[in-house]
């Protein structure tokens, strides 16, 4: 609660209490006559008291009349009407007071009371309207006139028709009950109003309601005094009038509150609000990012906001009255001045400023210059609004610069570079024309696919793994890449791939910029080829050969593999050059190169050292020196034969032979030069020995090779000259009854005698002679079987024929066997074919197919030398086998070696489980037989039962 209100409330309430107490006191006194000596004095006192009340009433009318219109008191009209009437009626009351001269008629107490009660009634009515805050319709003038009319009407009634007035006073007897009743009603009404105003004051906190409440209360108290007197000159009557004066003091306060205090308060509030708005405006102008200047008609500053002052680095004490040049930088002032002058003529302008800041940086601003008009419409000055556009302008200029740069880069790229953009997964999203041109793919074929499309296969997988690792980590990758165009041709690009990192820190796009370096690569390749290859034949030159040889020596050591170096020279090549000319000689050399490359494996190196000297490096010849030697000699022999075939050189036919020097290497010798020297020595040996031949560097090897060559020649002849024989070794059961025979080959040579199988069978295998020989064996054995068919005792015997790997791998092997069976008339179910485990290593399914085809006609299969090879149990299960032959090596030691007997036992059990027969080979002793019988073996072969022997016809 406001302290002022609290003060007023205690004043009002204490006044009311005092009024109550005093009135109670006064009423309890007996009637006191006053002014008895000079009764006319009372009239004057009455006039004074009433005059006070009347002036207050008139003041209230004046105040209500002048209340400002805009926030007009709702009760202004009521007050004007009410208090104008009250003033008039109270004036008439005074005029007609007993003892007064009166007007038109003489004054009388009854007439005075009529005006009094009328006045009080109007007063109560006005206060009721005020209490309800009811606004009367119509203007104040009308209500003033209404008040005057009311007073005039009552005046006329009182003067012209006095008999109409109610009887309120009877001289001598005093007040009538009517008068008292009226006074009491007024008193009650005033008390009610007082209560109403007090209650309202608690809500509104308004002093006015307090004053009104107090006025009503005092009026009510005063009214009680006017019910008691018998003559008007009694003290109680005077006391009642004093109450009226007191009540009017409060009415005055209330009216003052309404008309003066309140408007002033409003004015104060409004001023306060204006001050606040001004501060706000000032803050706003200070903080606005725009500079504002107001200038008068002489272009002197009226105002400049702090933003503008700050922006100009001038910091003047006060800008008011200064010229624009005092505030703005010279540069800016210069640019803006003409526009300010134009603005004085009513022309607004909008201009862009560019100037140098004191710190030397260039700055930009836009400025709006508008004329400020007075209310009269005349130009009163200029308003200039500055916006700092430096940042925007700098950004714009930067953007323009970078756009230009991008455009330049793009133009450069489009002109020279092959560009592709892919997404994070490498799927192409954009390509430029150059990309399409070089790859020969249309853009539509490329977009949505990956670069795999143009992968040439030139680079190993790791190459691209490294590339992806780099770019997916957000780094730039660059390198040379070989790609394949749509037509299959290769092209090279220098490639730079840049990742574009997204918001999550991972690459979201890749841009690949490539330059075509195919031409350069071709030149490089050509240069490299020239450096490492022989220009005439395109073969490796001496340098490349040396490199390859060093590498071959290294590999040979690492993988424990033999290799061979063959150095060759064309015999009498000089003669061809001399007789047919160099071009023909060159052509011959080229043809030699072609034939060499055609003869050798891709992995072998063929080089031309110069002239008619060629080198061949053969690697991976296995870890046995013997087989390496055989292979090298066979290859050399093949080369010799191929090169010795006639040459068609233009119109000439020519023939030439090579001499070949061979040296083997196995990693023990690491010096390439030494090796070449040795090959050279071997070559000289070959030349010395009459040319057209192959010589090994190693003498021992050489003689072995020579012997082998002779043996091979003789073996070839053996077939033609019928030197081969077939011996048969019996296979018996536990009772030593013959079950059949194994056919074993023998070579009976007139010079060499009986050649051991260990000597000639491997040679036959290596040279391929085993094929015709094998066929001969099969045919001979089948003839034997057919022969036995006529003998009831022998027709159940079987013959087992050993089949070599090379035979079995022949595509038409099955046909060969079927044909032999058919032509000989041998029963297929008496023929057994023995194969070894080593044959089952290649093309197992094909081998099984062949075996199954033959089994269908009754041919049976034995697995020879079981236990010595790669016995994998899994294939045993799948092979269409009928028999296992326990190798002689296990049988040899079966009596002495526990392991061997265990193996033999296991093999027998295994065979039984797989439903296979078992034959024990190489049984020489009876104890061996007995042991084998004991472990479950049922068929036997060995010297104990008979050596391989020719069949004697009976
Ligand atoms: P193989 O198939 O294991 O033949 C058994 C070899 O053991 C035969 O040697 C035979 O004479 C010998 N032998 C048999 N019982 C005894 C014995 O109690 N004690 C001793 N010490 N040896 C015994 P052979 O005839 O010298 O044949 C050697 C190998 O030559 C054969 O081994 C076979 O792999 C191969 N062979 C023989 N004839 C042919 C044939 O016509 N074609 C093919 N491809 N290879 C054949
Ligand atoms: Ca055999
Ligand atoms: Ca065997």
User: Does the CB atom of residue 182 touch ligand 1 within 6 A?
Assistant: no
As a whole number, mean pLDDT of residues 597-613 equals 91
- Provide the pLDDT for residue 71: 52
User: Does the CB atom of residue 537 touch ligand 1 within 6 A?
Assistant: no
How confident is residue 254, by pLDDT bands cut at 50, 70 and 90? Answer: confident
Taking CA atoms, 784 is separated from 769, 834, 872, 903, 954, in Å, by: 23, 17, 35, 35, 13
As a whole number, mean pLDDT of residues 705-718 equals 87
Q: Domain end: 672, 697, 722, which one? A: 697
Q: Among all ligands shown, which has an atom nearest to the Cα of 928?
A: 1
**Ligand 1 atom with minimal separation from the 765 CA:** 44
Q: Domain end: 236, 255, 274, which one? A: 255
825 φψ region: left (φ > 0), alpha (ψ -120 to 50), beta (else): left
Q: Is the pLDDT of residue 45 over 60?
A: yes
CA-nearest residue, atom 13 of ligand 1: 922
Does 716 lie in the same domain as 693? Answer: no
Distance (angstroms) between ligand 3 centre and the Cα of 888 equals 7
User: Strands 647-649, 490-501: parallel, antiparallel or unpaired by DSSP?
Assistant: unpaired
Does 204 lie in the same domain as 293? Answer: no
What CATH number is attached to the domain comprising 449? 3.30.450.20
Q: Among all ligands shown, which has an atom nearest to the Cα of 731?
A: 1
Record the tokens describing residue 940, joined without a space.
Answer: 């036997």
User: Does the CB atom of residue 867 touch ligand 1 within 6 A?
Assistant: no
As a whole number, mean pLDDT of residues 151-168 equals 90
Q: Quote the CA–CA distance of 451 and 314 in Å, as a whole number.
A: 65
Q: Among all ligands shown, which has an atom nearest to the Cα of 757?
A: 1
**560 occurs within a structural domain:** yes
CA-nearest residue, atom 23 of ligand 1: 922
Does 746 lie in the same domain as 615? Answer: no
Contacts 24+ apart (CB under 8 A), 639-643: 639/566, 639/568, 639/596, 639/599, 640/692, 640/693, 640/694, 642/595, 642/596, 642/598, 642/599, 643/568, 643/570, 643/592, 643/595, 643/596
Helix H or strand E segment including 82: helix 76-95
Does 316 lie in the same domain as 227? Answer: no
CA-nearest residue, atom 46 of ligand 1: 802
**Ligand 1 atom with minimal separation from the 745 CA:** 38
Q: How many domains does the chain have?
A: 5
What CATH number is attached to the domain comprising 158? 1.20.1070
Q: Among all ligands shown, which has an atom nearest to the Cα of 922?
A: 1
**Ligand 1 atom with minimal separation from the 921 CA:** 15
Rg (CA), the chain: 71
**198 occurs within a structural domain:** yes
Q: Quote the CA–CA distance of 241 and 235 in Å, as a whole number.
A: 10
CA-nearest residue, atom 3 of ligand 1: 865
Helix H or strand E segment including 465: helix 461-472
Does 377 lie in the same domain as 298? Answer: yes
Does 161 lie in the same domain as 32? Answer: yes
Query: Which of 250-259, 696-705, 942-951 is predicted most confidently?
Result: 942-951
How confident is residue 189, by pLDDT bands cut at 50, 70 and 90? Answer: very high
Q: Is the pLDDT of residue 236 over 70?
A: yes
Q: Is the dihedral of CA 177, 183, 187, 190 positive or negative?
A: positive
User: Does the CB atom of residue 130 touch ligand 1 within 6 A?
Assistant: no
Q: Quote the CA–CA distance of 883 and 595 in Å, as a whole number.
A: 48
Poorest-pLDDT segment among 53-62, 397-406, 478-487: 397-406
**Ligand 1 atom with minimal separation from the 729 CA:** 14
Distance (angstroms) between ligand 1 centre and the Cα of 729 equals 9
Q: What is the pTM of this model?
A: 0.44
Does 719 lie in the same domain as 865? Answer: yes
**414 occurs within a structural domain:** no
**261 occurs within a structural domain:** no
Distance (angstroms) between ligand 2 centre and the Cα of 725 equals 16
Contacts 24+ apart (CB under 8 A), 700-706: 701/629, 701/664, 704/629, 705/629, 705/633
What CATH number is attached to the domain comprising 582? 3.30.70.270
Q: Tell me what percent of the residues of the chain surpass a pLDDT of 70.
A: 97
Report the residue among 757, 771, 775, 920 best suited for mutation to probe ligand 1: largest number of ligand atoms under 8 A from its CB: 757
Record the tokens describing residue 449, joined without a space.
Answer: 């696919």
Q: For residue 827, which phi and psi values (nearest 5 degrees)?
A: -75, 125
Q: Is the dihedral of CA 696, 698, 702, 704 positive or negative?
A: negative
CA-nearest residue, atom 35 of ligand 1: 757
What residues are paired with 492 via a beta bridge? 482
Q: Is the pLDDT of residue 549 over 80?
A: yes
Q: Among all ligands shown, which has an atom nearest to the Cα of 834?
A: 2
- Provide the pLDDT for residue 870: 62
Listed residues: CB within 5 A of ion ligand 3: 864-865, 921
User: Does the CB atom of residue 862 touch ligand 1 within 6 A?
Assistant: no
Task: Tell me the pLDDT tens digit for each residue of 379-412.
Answer: 578 889 988 888 888 888 888 888 888 778 777 7
Does 717 lie in the same domain as 691? Answer: no
- Provide the pLDDT for residue 379: 57
Taking CA atoms, 656 is separated from 163, 305, 343, 368, 585, in Å, by: 181, 111, 112, 105, 11
Q: Quote the CA–CA distance of 469 and 476 in Å, as a whole number.
A: 10
Q: Among all ligands shown, which has an atom nearest to the Cα of 948?
A: 1
**199 occurs within a structural domain:** yes
User: Does the CB atom of residue 942 touch ligand 1 within 6 A?
Assistant: yes
User: Does the CB atom of residue 863 touch ligand 1 within 6 A?
Assistant: no
- Provide the pLDDT for residue 826: 96
How confident is residue 73, by pLDDT bands cut at 50, 70 and 90? Answer: low
User: Does the CB atom of residue 732 touch ligand 1 within 6 A?
Assistant: no
What residues are paired with 295 via a beta bridge? 301, 382
Q: Quote the CA–CA distance of 307 and 86 in Å, as a whole number.
A: 64
- Provide the pLDDT for residue 740: 96
How confident is residue 331, by pLDDT bands cut at 50, 70 and 90? Answer: confident
Does 201 lie in the same domain as 291? Answer: no
Does 692 lie in the same domain as 716? Answer: no
Taking CA atoms, 4 is separated from 201, 209, 230, 899, in Å, by: 13, 13, 44, 129
User: Does the CB atom of residue 765 touch ligand 1 within 6 A?
Assistant: no
**228 occurs within a structural domain:** yes
Q: Quote the CA–CA distance of 77 and 118 in Å, as a whole number.
A: 19
User: Does the CB atom of residue 343 touch ligand 1 within 6 A?
Assistant: no
Q: Domain end: 394, 425, 451, which one? A: 394
Task: Tell me the pLDDT tens digit for each residue of 609-632.
Answer: 989 999 999 999 998 888 898 999
Distance (angstroms) between ligand 3 centre and the Cα of 941 equals 10
User: Does the CB atom of residue 807 touch ligand 1 within 6 A?
Assistant: no
**532 occurs within a structural domain:** no
User: Does the CB atom of residue 948 touch ligand 1 within 6 A?
Assistant: yes
Does 241 lie in the same domain as 292? Answer: no
Closest CA to 615 of 545, 567, 552, 543: 567
Taking CA atoms, 567 is separated from 532, 593, 662, in Å, by: 18, 14, 6
Distance (angstroms) between ligand 3 centre and the Cα of 922 equals 8
Report the residue among 718, 802, 808 best suited for mutation to probe ligand 1: largest number of ligand atoms under 8 A from its CB: 802
What CATH number is attached to the domain comprising 829? 3.20.20.450
What would the DSSP string read from start to end of 839-850?
A: GGGS-HHHHHHH
Q: Quote the CA–CA distance of 949 and 728 in Å, as a whole number.
A: 5
Distance (angstroms) between ligand 1 centre and the Cα of 748 equals 16
How confident is residue 315, by pLDDT bands cut at 50, 70 and 90? Answer: low
Helix H or strand E segment including 364: strand 362-373
**Ligand 1 atom with minimal separation from the 885 CA:** 3
Task: Tell me the pLDDT tens digit for each residue of 873-883.
Answer: 667 777 899 99
What mean pLDDT, rounded, does the chain reach?
88
What residues are paired with 648 via a beta bridge? 653
User: Does the CB atom of residue 311 touch ligand 1 within 6 A?
Assistant: no
CA-nearest residue, atom 17 of ligand 1: 922
User: Does the CB atom of residue 780 touch ligand 1 within 6 A?
Assistant: no
User: Does the CB atom of residue 757 touch ligand 1 within 6 A?
Assistant: yes
Does 900 lie in the same domain as 792? Answer: yes
**704 occurs within a structural domain:** no
Task: Tell me the pLDDT tens digit for each residue of 924-948.
Answer: 999 999 999 999 999 999 999 999 9
Distance (angstroms) between ligand 3 centre and the Cα of 765 equals 17
CA-nearest residue, atom 4 of ligand 1: 744
Distance (angstroms) between ligand 2 centre and the Cα of 632 equals 30
As a whole number, mean pLDDT of residues 13-17 equals 93
- Could you list the residue range(s) of the whole structural domain that residue 665 is in? 548-697
Taking CA atoms, 721 is separated from 714, 718, 779, 783, in Å, by: 10, 5, 17, 20
What residues are paired with 368 via a beta bridge? 350, 385
CA-nearest residue, atom 12 of ligand 1: 922
- Provide the pLDDT for residue 314: 65
User: Does the CB atom of residue 500 touch ligand 1 within 6 A?
Assistant: no
Task: Tell me the pLDDT tens digit for each residue of 437-467.
Answer: 999 999 999 999 999 999 998 899 999 999 9
Which residues have C-beta within 8 Å of that of residue 953, sequence separation ≥ 6?
none
What residues are paired with 496 via a beta bridge? 478, 513
């Amino acid at each position: 609660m406001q302290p002022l209100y609290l003060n007023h409330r205690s004043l009002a309430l204490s006044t009311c209490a005092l009024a109550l107490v005093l009135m109670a006191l006064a009423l309890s006194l007996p009637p006191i006559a006053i002014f008895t000596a000079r009764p006319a004095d009372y009239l004057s006192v009455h006039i004074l008291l009433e005059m006070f009340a009347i002036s207050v009433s008139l003041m209230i009318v004046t105040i209500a009349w002048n209340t400002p219109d805009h926030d007009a008191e709702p009760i202004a009209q009521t007050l004007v009407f009410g208090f104008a009437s009250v003033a008039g009626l109270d004036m008439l009351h005074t005029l007609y007071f007993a003892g007064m001269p009166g007007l038109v008629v003489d004054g009388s107490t009854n007439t005075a009371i009529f005006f009094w009660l009328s006045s009080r009634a109007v007063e109560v009515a006005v206060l009721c309207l005020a209490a309800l805050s009811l606004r009367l319709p119509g203007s104040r003038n009308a209500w003033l006139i209404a008040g005057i009319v009311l007073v005039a009407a009552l005046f006329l009634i009182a003067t012209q028709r006095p008999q109409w007035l109610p009887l309120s006073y009877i001289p001598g007897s005093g007040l009538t009950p009517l008068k008292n009743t009226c006074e009491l009603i007024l008193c009650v009404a005033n008390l009610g109003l007082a209560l109403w105003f007090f209650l309202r004051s608690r809500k509104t906190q308004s002093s006015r309601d307090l004053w009104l409440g107090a006025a009503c209360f005092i009026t009510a108290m005063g009214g009680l005094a006017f019910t008691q007197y018998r003559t008007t000159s009694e003290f109680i009557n005077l006391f009642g009038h004093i109450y009226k004066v007191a009540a009017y003091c409060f009415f005055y306060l209330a009216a003052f509150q309404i008309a003066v205090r309140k408007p002033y308060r409003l004015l104060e509030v409004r001023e306060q609000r204006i001050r606040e708005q001004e501060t706000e405006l000032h803050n706003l102008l200070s903080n606005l990012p725009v500079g504002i200047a107001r200038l008068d008609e002489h272009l002197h500053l009226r105002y400049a906001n702090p933003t503008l002052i700050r922006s100009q680095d001038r910091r003047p004490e006060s800008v008011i009255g200064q010229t624009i040049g005092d505030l703005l930088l010279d540069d800016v002032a210069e640019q803006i001045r003409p526009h300010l002058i134009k603005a004085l003529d009513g022309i607004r302008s909008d201009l862009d400023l560019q100037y140098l800041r004191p710190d030397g940086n260039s700055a930009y601003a836009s400025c709006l210059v508008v004329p400020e008009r007075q209310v009269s419409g005349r130009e009163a000055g200029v308003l200039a609004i500055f916006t700092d556009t430096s940042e925007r302008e700098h950004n714009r200029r930067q953007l323009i610069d970078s756009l230009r740069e991008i455009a330049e880069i793009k133009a450069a790229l489009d002109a020279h570079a092959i560009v592709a953009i892919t997404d994070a997964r490498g799927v192409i999203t954009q390509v430029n024309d150059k990309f399409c041109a070089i790859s020969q793919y249309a853009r539509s074929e490329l977009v949505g696919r990956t670069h795999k499309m143009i992968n040439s296969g030139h680079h190993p997988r790791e190459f691209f793994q490294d590339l992806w690792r780099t770019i997916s980590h957000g780094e730039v990758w660059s390198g040379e890449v070989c790609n394949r165009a749509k037509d299959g041709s290769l092209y090279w690009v220098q490639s730079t791939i840049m990742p574009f990192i997204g918001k999550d820190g991972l690459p979201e796009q890749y841009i690949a910029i490539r330059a075509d370096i195919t031409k350069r690569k071709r030149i490089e390749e050509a240069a490299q080829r020239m450096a490492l290859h022989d220009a005439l034949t395109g073969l490796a030159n001496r340098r490349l050969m040396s490199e390859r040889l060093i590498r071959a020596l290294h590999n040979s050591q690492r993988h424990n593999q033999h290799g061979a170096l063959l150095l060759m020279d064309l015999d009498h090549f000089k003669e061809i050059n001399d007789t047919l000319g160099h071009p023909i000689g060159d052509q011959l050399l080229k043809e030699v190169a072609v034939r060499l490359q055609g003869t050798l494996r891709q992995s072998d190196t063929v080089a031309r050292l110069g002239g008619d000297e060629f080198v061949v490096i053969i690697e991976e010849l296995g870890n046995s020196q013997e087989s390496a030697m055989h292979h090298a000699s066979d290859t050399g022999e093949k080369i010799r034969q191929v090169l010795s075939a006639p040459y068609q050189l233009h119109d000439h036919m020519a023939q030439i032979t090579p001499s070949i020097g061979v040296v083997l290497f196995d990693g023990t010798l690491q010096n390439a030069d030494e090796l070449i020297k040795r090959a050279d020595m071997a070559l000289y040996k070959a030349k010395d020995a009459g040319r057209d031949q192959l010589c090994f560097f190693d003498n021992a090897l050489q003689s072995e090779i020579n012997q082998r060559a002779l043996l091979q020649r003789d073996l070839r002849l053996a077939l033609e000259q019928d030197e081969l024989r077939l011996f048969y070794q019996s296979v018996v059961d536990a009772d030593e009854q013959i079950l059949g025979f194994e056919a074993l080959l023998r070579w009976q040579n007139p010079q060499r005698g009986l050649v051991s199988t260990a000597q000639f069978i491997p040679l036959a295998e290596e040279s391929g002679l085993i094929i015709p020989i094998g066929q001969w064996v099969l045919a001979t054995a089948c003839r034997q079987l057919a022969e036995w068919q006529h003998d009831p005792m022998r027709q159940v015997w079987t013959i087992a024929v050993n089949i070599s790997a090379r035979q079995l791998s022949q595509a038409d092997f099955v046909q060969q066997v079927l044909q032999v069976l058919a032509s000989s008339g041998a029963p297929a179910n008496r023929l057994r074919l023995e194969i070894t485990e080593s044959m089952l290593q290649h093309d197992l399914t094909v081998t099984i197919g062949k075996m199954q085809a033959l089994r269908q006609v009754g041919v049976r299969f034995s697995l020879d030398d079981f236990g010595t090879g790669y016995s994998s149990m899994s294939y045993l299960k799948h092979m269409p086998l009928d028999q296992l032959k326990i190798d002689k090596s296990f049988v040899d030691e079966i009596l002495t070696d526990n392991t061997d007997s265990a193996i033999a036992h296991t093999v027998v059990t295994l065979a039984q489980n797989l439903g296979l027969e078992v034959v024990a080979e190489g049984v020489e002793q009876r104890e061996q037989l007995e042991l084998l019988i004991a472990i479950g073996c049922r068929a036997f072969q060995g010297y104990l039962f008979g050596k391989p022997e020719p069949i004697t016809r009976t």
